[in-house]
Structure 1
Amino acid sequence: MTSSQSAPADEQRMAQLWIRFKADDEKAFDQLVQARYRVLFNYATRFTNDRDLIKDCLQDLFLELWNRRAVIVETPYVTIYLIKAFRNNLFRRIRREMARPFVSDETLEWETIATEELTADHKWIADERLVSTEQSLRQAVDRLPKRQQEVVFLKFYEGLTNDDIAQVMAIEKQTVANFLYRAMTQLRTILPVRLFS
């Protein structure tokens, strides 16, 4: 990461928890797991829809972290460290077990925001529009090559910078920019113009 502005809002807290976890603080470790479990789980759904495999890999990762806490490096960028470690474990496991081919999960969870002032009908219409837009976007992203899907997910769903994505995927920063450019170009040809306004 090149600036503190690019870090997730709670990354400083995560770094403090990381230090405490390395010093055998179980409570800090539990807080780390709770804070990043969903991020890692959602990230893995870009590669496989085998939710049991994802959960197993997460459990293995956190068990390995706890067992190796004394020798794990200190880092101010815990989220990047966890995503990179999890990505490596997941890919190893998928290759080792010859799991299903990489597929996208159609069940990403989305939150809708509604105010109390909206009537039930207005809320229903707003929800239908949001679901339709999200489905169109998800289907379009699913048509991208897998590496572009991963870059789009990390950039727009997880809010990582190009530098962070390059670290996670072990590629050059320029390659990340190229993937993003190609992905956005292709999405603009697939999606209705209103999604980009």
Structure 2
Amino acid sequence: MANRSSIPADEQLMAQLWTRFRADDEKAFDQLVEARYRVLFNYATRFTKDRDLIKDCVQDLFLELWNRRKAIVDTPYVTIYLIKALRNNLFRKLRRERGWALALEESASLDGQSVDELTAEASWVAEETQISTEQNLRQAVAQLPKRQQEVVFLKFYEGLSNDDIAQVMEVEKQTVANFLYRAMTQLRDSLPIRIFS
């Protein structure tokens, strides 16, 4: 995990709001909700298109946080905490209300390829989301298994590190690297424009 000096300024503000909210500051809580509602909503759309269910889950999460504010731990990583809590709540509701369960994939080796070797591919995904092939990329990502979609979303759309993604998904860092490798391999093979050699 990164040390406090490497936490983005926005996350430092979130940590300040979090501390104030835990001390019964309603304005800080409102700011926290406003600052992270859209991120949480967008994250949840990776698992379901039921917008009403997503709204309910996000609202339930914030209501639960307010009701339990005295017992909640302090954290400098508020966004990760919120994403992880929403993910757990959403999966519980999906399982209970729809009988839906997320398939767990087994960890596999990277066949000798290190995470550093994926940097060019990661840069490509970030660039492609900003140019005309964005639609093709989104369609290709939608074809990935759910766990790989989640990793791609957290890595490239939310900018989380592998350590942070591992915390959110409650898996080992190596598992995150494996998901990324598999996702990048499938994207490379399925996209109509050949970027990779």
Name the counterpart of 1:156.
156
Which residue matches 1:111?
none
Is the CA contact 1:7–1:160 (under 8 Å) kept in the aligned structure 2?
Answer: no
Structure 2: gaps (5+ residues): 103-129
Equivalence for 2:90: 90
User: 1:152·1:183 contact (CA, 8 Å) conserved in 2?
Assistant: yes
Distance 1:5 1:178, change over 3 A: farther
Structure of higher RCO (CA pairs closer than 8 Å, 6+ residues apart): 1
> Secondary structure, in 3 states, of the residue corresponding to 1:156?
helix
Measured on the aligned residues, the alpha-carbon RMSD in Å equals 2.2
Mapping for residues 71-90 of structure 1, pairs under 5 Å: 71-90=71-90
Q: Residues 162, 6 of structure 1: CA spacing in aligned structure 2 closer, same or farther, 3 A cutoff?
A: farther
Note the C-alpha offset of 1:193: 2.5
Structure 1, unaligned stretches of length 5 or more?
103-129
How far does the alpha carbon of each residue in 1:130-172 deviate from its partner, in whole angstroms, 9 at most, with x for none?
7852210111001111110000000000000000000000000
Q: Secondary structure in 1 aligned to 2:69?
A: coil
Provide the rounded CA distance (Å) in 1 between the counterparts of 2:160 and 2:5: 11
1:2, distance to aligned residue in structure 2 (A) = 2.3
- Are the counterparts in 2 of residues 148 and 179 from structure 1 also a CA contact under 8 Å? yes
Please state whether the residue corresponding to 2:144 is helix, strand or coil. Answer: coil
Aligned length: 170
Q: In 2, are the aligned partners of 1:48 and 1:101 still within 8 Å (CA)?
A: no
Residues 41 and 133 of structure 1: CA distance in aligned 2, closer, same or farther (over 3 Å): same
CA contact (8 A) 1:6 1:161 kept: no
**Is 2:14–2:78's contact at 8 Å kept on the other side of the alignment?**
yes
1:193 aligned onto 2:181: no
SS in 2 for 1:193: coil
Q: Where do residues 58-137 of structure 1 align in structure 2 (5 Å cutoff)?
A: 58-98=58-98, 132-137=132-137
User: TM-score, normalised to structure 1's length?
Assistant: 0.80
Q: Which residue does 2:140 correspond to in 1?
A: 140
Call closer, same or farther: CA 1:8–1:136 in 2, change over 3 Å. farther
User: Residue type of the partner of 1:193?
Assistant: R
Partner of 1:31: 31
